[in-house]
Amino acid sequence: MAALTELTVSEAVRVLSEGGTTSTSLLEALLQRIDQHDGAIHAYVSIDREDAMRQAEAADARRKRGESAPLLGVPIAVKDLFNVKGQPCTCGSRMLEGYIAPFDATVITRLREAGAVIVGRLNMDEFAMGSSTENSAWGPSRNPWNTDCVPGGSSGGNAAAVAADIAFASLGTDTGGSVRQPASFCGCVGLKPTYGRISRYGVVAYASSLDQVGPVTKDVRDTALLMNVMSGLDLRDSTSLNVPTPDFTTALGRDLRGLRLGLPSEYFGAGLDPEVERAVRAATDVCRSLGAEIVSVSLPQTKFAIPTYYVIATAEASANLARFDGIRYGARVKADSPLELYEQTRARGFGSEVKRRIILGTYVLSSGYYDAYYLRAQKVRRWIRAGFDDAFRSCDALLTPTAPTPAFRFGEKSADPLQMYLSDIFTATVNLAGGCALSVPCGFSATGMPIGMQVIGPALAEETLLRVGHAYEQATDWHLRRPQLKASV
């Protein structure tokens, strides 16, 4: 049998239910591997081992009593922006140093009810702003395939941990690509579900009209399993959708006959790394051989996505981050007056990218500029959405690269924010348009870095994405490859 830490979630569930291992053994194996490898990867920012062990013991006790639950006893790691009662939640920021979550986010409650063991908090770009984890106040995470490269971001710790087998699966968030892009950089599966599919109650907000919770996993089946547990209406989140949650696993194991998959020409143009293009085109051939009809489509609005995204996201971020005032949460600088306290805390608490975005967002919302920037961006957003609606009249889903390049090196883009923003070009469009999208591993560059294919669907088409992703995964073995890690201790 493979090492315990190599198991997928569905394999772990099976082994646990057959009595082949216990939750405490799984957790011990995981913690041991984290000790060996996380020094080099830095996927985790904090782990409460005693608390995790108590949860694992409780899961084993439940199983002993004859109980069963979909994830009973499986350790799951979470991005450091989910409130988990009694645990820190720093969002990769000094601003939240010392903050201890007083409650569980709804997704955490659902995972607990499903029997999961919540273990560890994963590194991220500060307040989820970034594409490389270089914006984390706690230092970057490293890509397990090459530690000189970024793992992507903002959920970089998520993907690095799953790729290195130091997490069985993880929970991230995706505002403009933060689940999919790191998944593609690290050779994992990442899903951005439809806006409203999963409750965001207790998830620290970045850009509220775009944010969505999504899993990073080792394979497509695990994504379906986690979606089953996490999805569904939550009255505590007014944007949560009142739609039934299907059994997402029923989408798996089918071929692609009868599906039309569109290739948007704008996603295969200038700026796309030739190795990425080759891998994604080869993957579309595999989908054709599985029975899909491949058609060409056009998304002429694509070039407006990045400016639109960075106006809307920063505007919303500037409003959301106003709550970090040195009084209500986390860090507080001592000062003589409330105003000074507020200014000093924000000046010292936020990193430079967060400040840049607060300033940008405040500017585009200010009177005199509101119409020219924010309102205009809202109109363009509607137009981008119309473009996707048009495309989905001639196909069921789109196949595109997830990111224009494989993982880049540290420092390569961090000096130039615009270069960094451009790496979101294929992912941010989906958040603006309101669809859902899955990234699956589809190859490697000549230097051995993973490449991801994105399957994009309209709102609530997760089952189509999982069907395509799973059929493709079954026909290939990219998702089975593992990076060679050198133990760091």
199 counts as catalytic? no
Residue 9 C-beta: closest distance to ligand GLN, Å: 23
| Closer residue to ligand GLN in complex, CB, 165/174 | 174
Cβ-proximal residues to 274 (8 Å cutoff; 6+ apart), any chain: none
CB of 200 to ligand GLN, least distance (A): 13
**Two tokens at 232?**
């569904």
Active site residue 303: no
d(C-alpha 10, C-alpha 16), whole Å? 10
State the nearest-atom distance from the C-beta of 131 to ligand GLN, in Å: 4
172-186 CB burial, b ≥16 within 10 A, e <16: bbbbbbbbbbbbbbb
* 344, 326 contact by CB (below 8 A): yes
Closest CA to 216 of 188, 243, 236: 188
Q: Which is nearer to ligand GLN, 139 or 448 (CB)?
A: 139
Count of all residues that appear for the chain in the document: 489
Annotation says 231 is catalytic:
no
d(CA 287, CA 151): 27
Q: Which is nearer to ligand GLN, 310 or 472 (CB)?
A: 310
* Closest distance of CB 1 from ligand GLN, Å: 37
Catalytic option among 23, 79, 192, 199? 79
Q: Which is nearer to ligand GLN, 426 or 472 (CB)?
A: 426
- Residue of 93, 141, 155, 178 marked active site: 178
Which among 154, 155, 199, 318 is annotated as catalytic? 154
- Shortest gap between Cβ of 288 and ligand GLN (angstroms)? 31
Do the Cβ atoms of 59 and 72 come closer than 8 Å? yes
Those residues with Cβ within 8 angstroms of residue 228's Cβ, 6 or more apart along the chain or in another chain: 70, 245, 247, 248, 249
Taken in order 150, 154, 158, 159, is the CA torsion positive or negative? negative
Q: Toward ligand GLN, which CB reaches closer, 224 or 428?
A: 428
Report the residue number, 101 or 430, with the smaller CB distance to ligand GLN.
430
**Least distance CB 26 / ligand GLN (angstroms):** 30
Compute the distance between CA of residue 113 and CA of residue 136 in angstroms, rounded to an integer.
31
- Residue 96 C-beta: closest distance to ligand GLN, Å: 16
3-state helix vs strand vs coil in the chain, percent to 5:
45, 15, 40
Residue type, 238: S
In terms of CB distance, is 178 or 231 closer to ligand GLN? 178
CB-CB contact of 449 with 406 (8 Å): yes
Binding site for ligand GLN (CB under 6 A): 128-131, 154, 174-178, 206, 313, 424
CB neighbours of residue 64 within 10 Å: 9
Q: Is 289 exposed, middle or buried (0-12, 13-18, 19+ CB in 10 A)?
A: exposed
CA atoms within 13 A on the CB side of 78: 29
Just list the catalytic residues.
79, 154, 178
